[in-house]
Amino acid sequence: MTALLVALAGGVGAATRFVVDGHVRSRSGGPFPFATFVVNVTGSLLLGLLTGAVAFHDLAADAYAVAAVGFCGGYTTFSTAMVETVRLVQEGEVRRAVLNALGSLAATLAAAAAGVALMAALA
C-alpha cells in the first residue's frame, strides 16, 4: 500500500510542479530559470520540514516516504536545473549559468536546513 501511495503522491507532486512552474514563468522573464529555482527551493524546504518532523515529532516512516519520496520526488526537478544550466552556457550566459548552479545548490541546502531547524524549534 505504501508503494502505491508513494506513486500517487509522486504524480501529485509532478502536477503541482507543472502548475507552480507555469505560474512563475508567466510572471518572470529573461533567460534565468526562476521557475525551476522556485520549485527546487520550495521542495527542499518541504523536505527539510518533513525530515525535521521525523527527527523531532515522530512522523511515521510510511508518511515520510509518501510525502518526501513521493510528493517531493515528483515535485522537485534538479535534472531540469542542470539542463537549464547547460542551456545558459550554450547561449553564452556563463555568469547566469554559474549563478543558477551554485545559487540553486546554496538556496536548496539553506531551505532544507531551515525546514529542519524550524521543526526542531517547534519540538
pLDDT digits (tens, 9 = 90+) for 33-60: 999 999 999 999 999 999 999 999 999 9
pTM for this prediction: 0.94
**What CA–CA distance (Å, rounded) separates 36 from 113?**
19
- Total residue length of the chain: 123
Q: Given this model, what pLDDT does residue 55 score? A: 97
pLDDT tens for residues 70-95?
999 999 999 999 999 999 999 999 99
pLDDT above 90 for 29: no
CB 71 within 8 A of CB 27: no
> Domain of 35?
2-121
**Model pLDDT, residue 117:** 98
pLDDT of residue 110: 98
Tally of domains within the chain? 1
